[in-house]
Structure 1
Amino acid sequence: MSFTSSLKRLARPALRALLLLAAPAGAQTLPAPRAAIAQVLATQTAAWNRGDIPGFMQGYWQSDSLVFIGKKGLTYGWRPTLANYQKSYPDAAAMGRLDFRGLRITPLGPDAAEVVGAWHLARPAALGDLGGHFLLVFRRLQGRWVIVADHTS
């Protein structure tokens, strides 16, 4: 083995250690994207199931650029999306009990991810259950994971 190849072999672990030490301190304490996004969805579910649509909406980007695509077409903006939810689900009976199923959380980079899954609302027999599928686009903005686009059917 040559001196150069020995030096390269020894330098690799040292370089890795230096890179870890040079990483920003906060980078090591941030939750993994999948866990952080799953927590957003769990928080949304809990808010919905207590009849708190504004609390549910905290998982969405509070911006006019938020896009929601549903059976009624496109809705742009956090406030119009909130208003649509409030109109469609005027009381606890209409809201029912929400659960998400078959979640597939796929990071698209350090600050973006997509979530595919199914939603189900268990409601009183007179109203009937509802359900469908969704594709959410999440982004980490100002250190917080939020839904920036929602296509729900």
Structure 2
Amino acid sequence: MRLLFVGFFVALFSITSHAKTELKEAEKREILSLLHKQAEAWNEGNLEKFMETYLNSEKLVFIGGNGPTYGWQATLDRYKKNYPNKAAIGKLEFKILNISKIDTRTVFLIGRFELTREIGNLAGHFTLVIQKIDGKWLIVSDHSSAEG
């Protein structure tokens, strides 16, 4: 009887802990909206607005082909240097490949970006760590790699 009782609580704990890390449809919509806002801002050529989707903190990390960049301002400066005008910015589209919840306030997302530009197209993959901070989903880590 004691074994049955312990087994019941182990099963109950497993079910409730899994339920807490399952991505709810509303959360998924909020996160997809965040990426839509990002693409929209990028396509307007508004890098400051694009950066509103990132945690405005020195804890933000962006990892690209030249290694990590730490901090919100340094990440914005990196974008401005690498995409100085509309010809370099082009038109951005995202394709979401996988999205999963790590814990109650953290999501891991894998996607593909496609940048259509006058100066030559650019595409690749990215991984994002997105956290809910003060009721708002924000990107805290971005690792983007271009193809070729």
Shared fold, TM over 0.5 = yes
For structure 2, the residue ranges without an aligned partner over 5 or more in a row are: 1-23
How many equivalent residue pairs?
Answer: 122
What's the CA shift string for 1:6-53, capped at 9, x where partnerless? xxxxxxxxxxxxxxxxxxxxxxxx972211110000000000001000
Q: Is residue 33–residue 107 contact of structure 1 (8 Å, CA) maintained in 2?
A: no
Query: 2:143 is matched by which residue type in structure 1?
Result: H
1:105 and 2:99 correspond: yes
Q: Is residue 62–residue 141 contact of structure 2 (8 Å, CA) maintained in 1?
A: yes
Instruction: Give the match for residue 10 of structure 1.
Output: none
Q: Deviation at 1:108? A: 1.5
Query: 1:50 is matched by which residue type in structure 2?
Result: E
Instruction: Give the match for residue 110 of structure 2.
Output: 116
CA distance in structure 1 between the partners assigned to 2:54 and 2:40 by the alignment: 15
1:130 and 2:128 correspond: no
CA distance in structure 2 between the partners assigned to 1:52 and 1:150 by the alignment: 19
Share of identical aligned residues, percent? 43
Q: Is residue 119–residue 132 contact of structure 1 (8 Å, CA) maintained in 2?
A: yes
Instruction: Give the match for residue 6 of structure 1.
Output: none
CA distance in structure 2 between the partners assigned to 1:38 and 1:123 by the alignment: 24
Instruction: Give the match for residue 8 of structure 2.
Output: none
Q: Flag the 1:31–1:55 CA change in 2: closer, same or farther, 3 A.
A: farther
For structure 1, the residue ranges without an aligned partner over 5 or more in a row are: 1-29
CA distance in structure 1 between the partners assigned to 2:99 and 2:30 by the alignment: 10
Instruction: Give the match for residue 34 of structure 2.
Output: 40
Q: Is residue 89–residue 95 contact of structure 1 (8 Å, CA) maintained in 2?
A: yes
Q: Deviation at 1:72? A: 0.7
Larger radius of gyration: 1
Q: Is residue 109–residue 127 contact of structure 2 (8 Å, CA) maintained in 1?
A: yes
Runs of 4+ in structure 1 off by over 3 angstroms are none
Q: Deviation at 1:109? A: 2.1
CA distance in structure 2 between the partners assigned to 1:39 and 1:46 by the alignment: 10
Instruction: Give the match for residue 87 of structure 1.
Output: 81
Query: 1:41 is matched by which residue type in structure 2?
Result: L
